[in-house]
Structure 1
C-alpha cells in the first residue's frame, strides 16, 4: 500500500479556462486588456497572489493594487471555478482502481482550500481522497515541503508518491524527500527532462500500472 498525493490544477483537472475567465473579469474591472489562455497557463502554479502579480506586471498595473485585486480574483473565481473546468481523461477510473488496490489518496495544491474542495466535490472527485491540503491550509505553500509533509502525515502509509505537473511540484517533492511522478500534459513551463522525477506519464489509463511497477521495485 502507498500514500499517493496529487496536485490539482494541471494534474487532475484542466482548470485553466476558468482561471482565465476570472482573471480577465478582474483585469477588465481594472481597465486592463485580457489575457489569452496560453499566457494564463504560464502564470499558474504558485497560487492566486503570484498569478495576479505576474498579470499585473504584464499589464503595468501598480502593485499597490495587488491585495485588492487578489481579493477580487478570489471572489470572482470562487463563483465560477467549475464552469469550464474538466477532469482529465482517465482520472476517475484510475483513482477508483488505485483505491481498489488499497492505496490511500490525497491532494496537495496551491489553490486555496475552499475552491479546491468545491472543485473536487462538483466534479465527483471528492470521495476518492482522504486528505486535502490547500494553498492556505498552512502558513506556507509549495514548493515549501511542509504542505506535502502534512498531506502524507494525514494518510499514514510508509511509501509516499507525489503526482504533479509543474516545476513547483517537482521542487516540493525534492525538498520533501518523496518520489515525484510527472504528468506531462499539464501546465509545466520547462522540458520534461529538466524536472527531477522518478517517472513520467501522459495518460491516466496507464497510471495504476505505473504505480504497481514502481512499488514492485521498492
Structure 2
C-alpha cells in the first residue's frame, strides 16, 4: 500500500498557502487566496511556483529566488496542517492486516518527514519517496515504482495499491500499471470521470474494507 501525502493523508494547503504568501509579501508581490494556492498544489514545488509566477506575472528569472525563500519556511511548516479524519486508524488497520505501507509524494523530503514526524506517522511507513528523491516526479511512474521496490515488490511488475487524490496520482498509477483508490476529499482539479481509478472513497473508515475488495479483484 503506497499513499500520496498532501491532499490524501493530510490537508497541508493552509501551511503551503501561508508560506507562499509570506514569501510573496517579502518580495513585494500580491498575495493569493487559499483556494487559488490549493489549485496549484500537486506537481511539486517547481510547478507550484511556475503557476504562481504565471498567475501574478512575475519575471521567471525571479522564480529561483522565490523558491529558495519559500523553502526556508516550508521545510518545517506543520502548524496549520491537519490529518484527514480517520487516517491513523485506517493505517493501523491496514498494517495489522499485513500490508506494508509507503509514501510516494511530490512534496520535498524534508517537508514530508516534518509532517510525518509531527503526526507520529513516520514509523508506520517502510518506504518514503519524495519529490526530490529521484530526478523525476509523479505522474512519471518511477517514484511510485521505487516506493513499491523499497517495500520488496518486483519493480518490473509491482503488486499493490496506490491511494491518492489528484490527476498526478491517477496518471502515475496508470503509468506504473497499478490500481488507484481515489480519495475524494483532496486536491483534485478535474471531474472524477476524467481520472483513471479502480475505486473511490471519502471516509477513511471505509478504506480497509475497500482495499480488501480491491485486492480480491486483483487476485481473482
TM bin (shorter chain): over 0.9
Asked if 1:98 corresponds to 2:94, the answer is: yes
Are positions 1:30 and 2:15 aligned together?
A: no
Query: 2:141: which partner in 1?
Result: 145
Alignment gaps of 5+ in structure 2: none
What is the number of residues matched between the two proteins? 214
In structure 2, the residue matched to 1:60 is: 57
Q: 1:142·1:172 contact (CA, 8 Å) conserved in 2?
A: yes
For 1:165 and 1:23, how far apart are their aligned partners in 2?
A: 22
- Note if contact 1:48-1:73 (Cα within 8 Å) is conserved in structure 2: no
2:209 — aligned with what? 209
Specify the alignment match of 1:12 in structure 2: 9
Partner of 2:75: 78
Tell me the CA shift for residue 216 of structure 1: 1.8
- Find the aligned partners of 1:49 and 1:159 in 2 and give their Cα distance: 31
Q: What's the TM-score once normalised by structure 2's chain length?
A: 0.95
Superposed CA RMSD: 0.9
Unaligned residue ranges in structure 1 (runs of 5+): none
The CA deviation at 1:43 is 0.4
TM-score after normalising by structure 1: 0.96
Alpha-carbon displacement from aligned partner over 1:113-166 (angstroms, at most 9, x marks no partner): 111011101112112110000000011111111000100001124631001000
Deviations along 1:69-122, one digit per CA (max 9) or x if unpaired, are 11111111124x101001100000000000000000000000011110111011
- Aligned partner of residue 160 in structure 2, secondary structure: strand
Using CA pairs under 8 Å that are at least 6 residues apart, name the structure with larger relative contact order, 1 or 2: 1
Residues 1:166 and 2:162 aligned together: no
